[in-house]
Amino acid sequence: MNSNIKNIEIFELGSKGKENSSPWSSTILIARLTSNDGTTGYGEAPTTFSTMSVKESMEEVRRSFLGKDFFNVEKNLNDLYRDSFYLSKSFQHTAALSAFEIASWDMIGKELGSPVYNLIGGKMRDTVKAYANGWYSNCTTADQFVTRAKQVVAKGFRAMKFDPFGDAFDTISIGQLNNAESIVSSMRNQLGESVDLLIECHGRFSLNAAERVAKAMEKYNVLFIEEPLHPELEHALPVLRSKSKIPIALGERLLNKADFAKVISEDKVDIIQPDVTNSLGILEGKKIAAIADSFGIPVAFHNAFGPVQTAATLNLDVTLRNFLIQESFESFWPDWKAKLLKTGYKLESGFFKLSGKNGLGIEIDDKIMESSIVQGMEPYDPKEPPWVVSDTFKSKD
């Protein structure tokens, strides 16, 4: 067995036009690593208005990984930590490195004839509960949200996340808050208590606005409210938590275990949401979950990009004692993304199940990948931030 990395390819994949559910992931970046004996591994990096800078960072990481033994996950990451001066603070660098780390685990599993989850502790569960996201494009009123939500429930989901705040940013007017509360109230009344509601804020509010939002949402028994404050206001999270009983979730903008250890130990969060494609991959994800577990904090991984990310995340989910719930855009993807994998996992009646095959368990459809190759920056609409679900950053009028 020769476990050195012989070849590294980087692919930018994307939609030819606008995506309805997730404009921020209309491009994804795939790393394909090949060893001297022909073993291949796939990893994924997110883009989020940074396609070109993340892609260039992947080229930087390529120089370090080429020729390395892919079994040496800790050493290879430490070499990048040593060489990449801004790694701890750079989304672009951690995203790039995460793709290579995930691909390494895919190769390790294939070489050893084992799914990745068996190499990081084995399974705690066979199925993984999912919550739907990306389902509410072009929804701004309570009636529109409820109509679409009932379609989501009909697909088998018993949990869904949504952003009801329209074009509110930093502050929120009485009208905007009333509309958001009307949406959540109607969802709860129409769907009942058997469906979990998760409220997305996208890190958009000042402390004063976040306090008003959290107070308004408290009475509807939501599972959590996500990123209610601007990320620069992290220091104010204990203040917000002291004024509301609603659980606060965050983590997609945190880049490593030290970031998570800080927010957890400083009593700033109730539920953490690491993203394996920007917080250094699978092994770091396992360490982050262990830190959270020692504080009694559950984990709900962020997962808003492509199917390689989902497969990597699910390999972690099934091993965790403190797993809570898994984000899923799968039912609302464009065709190219939905068909990129021939096998890997299934989503049925609101639950994921892994294929159980070696490595990440995935098989890429090469024809779909080749036909989905794009170049350049992702689409941009100056009237709507790229982090929202399409056609929702507007008032109900």
Separation of alpha carbons 251 and 300, rounded Å: 9
DSSP 43: E
Sheet containing 40-45, strands listed edge to edge, beginning at the edge strand earlier in sequence: 5-14, 27-35, 40-45
Give the pair of three-digit tokens for residue 246: 């609603």
Separation of alpha carbons 158 and 148, rounded Å: 14
Q: 93, 202, 230, 235: which is the annotated catalytic residue?
A: 202
CA 362 to chain centroid:
18
Give the pair of three-digit tokens for residue 26: 């209309």
Query: Distance of CA 180 to CAs 164, 170, 184, 200, 278, Å?
Result: 5, 15, 6, 11, 30
Whether 202 is a known active-site residue: answer yes
Give the pair of three-digit tokens for residue 338: 């939905």
Q: 93, 230, 235, 302: which is the annotated catalytic residue?
A: 302
In which residue are the tokens 């904090």 written?
297
Whether 302 is a known active-site residue: answer yes
Contacting residues for 59 by C-beta, under 8 A, at least 6 apart? 10
Check if the beta carbon of residue 41 is closer than 8 Å to that of residue 359.
Answer: yes
Secondary structure class of 264 (helix, strand, coil): helix
DSSP 215: H
Q: Where are the beta strands (DSSP E) in 15-86?
A: 27-35, 40-45
Strand partners, 14: 27
Check if the beta carbon of residue 160 is closer than 8 Å to that of residue 135.
Answer: yes
Active site residues: 202, 302
